[in-house]
């Protein structure tokens, strides 16, 4: 069964995915970091970034290399249990660096979420690139 939890929680989680993608597309660090729990952890390309301050610093540095980014996330498995949830998100990104060739990237996030102050946020995101192509 791909979706477990109330319709309200599942909708709020989908809105979190949309907010995350919108923040990436606008290269908006404040909106992006607001999607994370205070002690959130991002596991990406062999690195572990922990806490909003470290997440913000890493993300600003990484995004400074791009003049255009488009991010689309497609939720797969959503499982809600009380104030916690797990989620799989398939992604497609179009990345145009300030220098070098543009690329398209497909990946998947395996996520753990927590509901804080009535709002879902990412407690942990583990990202794996599935395919990358220069365009």
DSSP state of 103: E
Segment-wise mean pLDDT, segments of 10 residues, the chain, 135 residues: 78 97 96 98 95 97 96 94 96 96 97 96 97 93
Q: 36-62: per-residue pLDDT in tens?
A: 999 999 999 899 999 999 999 999 999
User: Distance between CA 57 and CA 59 in Å, rounded?
Assistant: 6
The overall pTM is greater than 0.85 = yes
Domains and CATH numbers, the chain: 3-134 (3.10.450.50)
- What are the Cα distances from residue 100, in Å, to 55, 65, 117? 25, 10, 42
User: Distance between CA 122 and CA 86 in Å, rounded?
Assistant: 10
């Amino acid at each position: 069964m791909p979706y477990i939890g109330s319709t309200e929680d599942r909708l709020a989680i989908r809105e979190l995915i949309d907010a995350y993608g919108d923040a990436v597309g606008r290269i908006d660090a404040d909106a992006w970091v607001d999607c994370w729990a205070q002690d959130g952890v991002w596991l990406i390309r062999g690195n572990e970034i922990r806490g909003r301050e470290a997440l913000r610093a890493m993300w600003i540095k990484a995004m400074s290399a791009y003049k255009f980014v488009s991010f689309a996330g497609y939720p797969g498995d959503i499982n809600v249990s009380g104030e916690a949830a797990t989620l799989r998100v398939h992604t497609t990104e179009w990345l145009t660096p300030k220098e070098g060739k543009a690329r398209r990237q497909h990946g998947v996030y395996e996520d753990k979420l927590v509901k804080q102050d009535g709002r879902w946020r990412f407690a942990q995101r583990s990202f794996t690139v599935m395919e990358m192509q220069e365009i």
